[in-house]
């Protein structure tokens, strides 16, 4: 008997390394139309959902955001997952960390807008915001991150949002590099709205074994999954030294994970690359889930 397959989504822009505000080009006079066009393109290509950055909705004016939500509802579209939670300008760690009141105000606005757009999960990657600067020690920075997550957990209860802690490879952050570390942090906090994300790209770079996925699922802690090829491109087939997407899907199948999976990739031609990659991923998923192969 085949097992239920995870829903497959695609990030409209890549993760925390992408600009979140102040980057609107002259060609993007109407950000609402631009967002809707991007989301609709991914859905038309066959993805089950689109994943946006938090900044994509936070930076909209109140009038634009209301129009965006109204058009989403008219078209029957929900955006279930948002990434790139905290912008680089709102530092969470170190001696120059932003005032807690400013962070809380931003988080509350973000959760209000994410929820209004149908969001259920916010991914906390935000490498630039959470990286611990000198002279702070890692533990000092981690205590600031814990305090931030406690505040997020409180607001998340109000808005019905789950925060997924995303481990990032060491070139993107010096805090929380492995799924095992994120899982330990979430278990220590013991907050029902704070869970973890597994990203096959970061796991590959950090050489973290995929057994941790089963452990996270068994503890009901895996809230979301990302994948990309080793160079952040869209996976389209077997690549020498590449990310083992087949193994990832096999782990998800064996663990009974029934959540969502998103491609978080960079591309100079998003429509073409995302569509070609989806064919490959669906072929892999069908083989692994229906035949039991890997």
pLDDT at 241: 82
Q: What is the DSSP letter of 50?
A: E
Measured between alpha carbons, how far is 122 from 92 in angstroms, rounded to an integer?
17
Q: Give the containing element (helix H, strand E) for 199.
A: strand 194-199
pLDDT at 63: 98
Measured between alpha carbons, how far is 162 from 176 in angstroms, rounded to an integer?
18
Q: What is the DSSP letter of 132?
A: P
Report residues of the chain scoring pLDDT below 50: 14-27
Average pLDDT, the chain: 93
- pLDDT, one tens digit per residue, over 187-212 is 999 999 999 999 999 999 999 999 99
Kindly report the CA angle at 80 between 22 and 177, in degrees rounded to 5?
70
- Whether the Cβ atoms of residue 186 and residue 194 lie closer than 8 Å to each other: yes
The pTM is what?
0.93
Torsion of Cα atoms, 286 then 247 then 161 then 4, to 10°: 30
């Amino acid at each position: 008997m085949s097992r239920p397959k995870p829903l497959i989504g695609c990030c409209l822009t890549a993760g925390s390394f992408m600009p979140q505000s102040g980057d609107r080009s002259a060609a993007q006079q109407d950000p609402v139309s631009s967002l809707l066009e991007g989301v609709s393109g991914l859905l038309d290509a066959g993805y089950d959902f689109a994943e946006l950055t938090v900044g994509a909705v936070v930076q909209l004016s109140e009038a634009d955001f209301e129009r965006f939500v109204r058009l989403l509802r008219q078209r029957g579209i929900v955006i279930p997952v948002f990434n790139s939670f905290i912008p680089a300008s709102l530092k969470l760690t170190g001696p120059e960390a932003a005032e807690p009141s400013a962070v809380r105000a931003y988080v509350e606005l973000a959760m209000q807008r994410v929820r209004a757009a149908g969001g259920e999960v916010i991914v906390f990657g935000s490498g630039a915001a959470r990286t611990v600067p000198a002279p702070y020690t890692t533990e000092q920075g981690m205590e600031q991150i814990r305090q931030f997550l406690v505040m997020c957990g409180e607001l998340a209860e109000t808005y019905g949002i789950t925060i997924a802690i995303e481990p990032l490879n060491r070139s993107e952050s010096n805090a929380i590099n492995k799924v095992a570390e994120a899982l330990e942090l979430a278990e220590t906090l013991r907050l029902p709205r704070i869970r973890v994300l597994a990203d096959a790209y970061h796991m590959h770079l950090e050489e973290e074994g995929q057994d941790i996925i089963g452990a996270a699922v068994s503890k009901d802690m895996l809230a979301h999954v990302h994948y990309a090829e080793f160079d952040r491109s869209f996976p389209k087939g077997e690549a020498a030294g590449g990310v083992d997407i087949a193994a990832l899907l096999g782990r998800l199948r064996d663990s009974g994970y029934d959540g969502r999976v998103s491609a978080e990739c960079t591309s100079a031609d998003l429509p073409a690359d995302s569509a070609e990659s989806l064919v490959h991923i669906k072929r892999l998923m069908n083989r692994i889930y229906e035949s039991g192969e890997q």
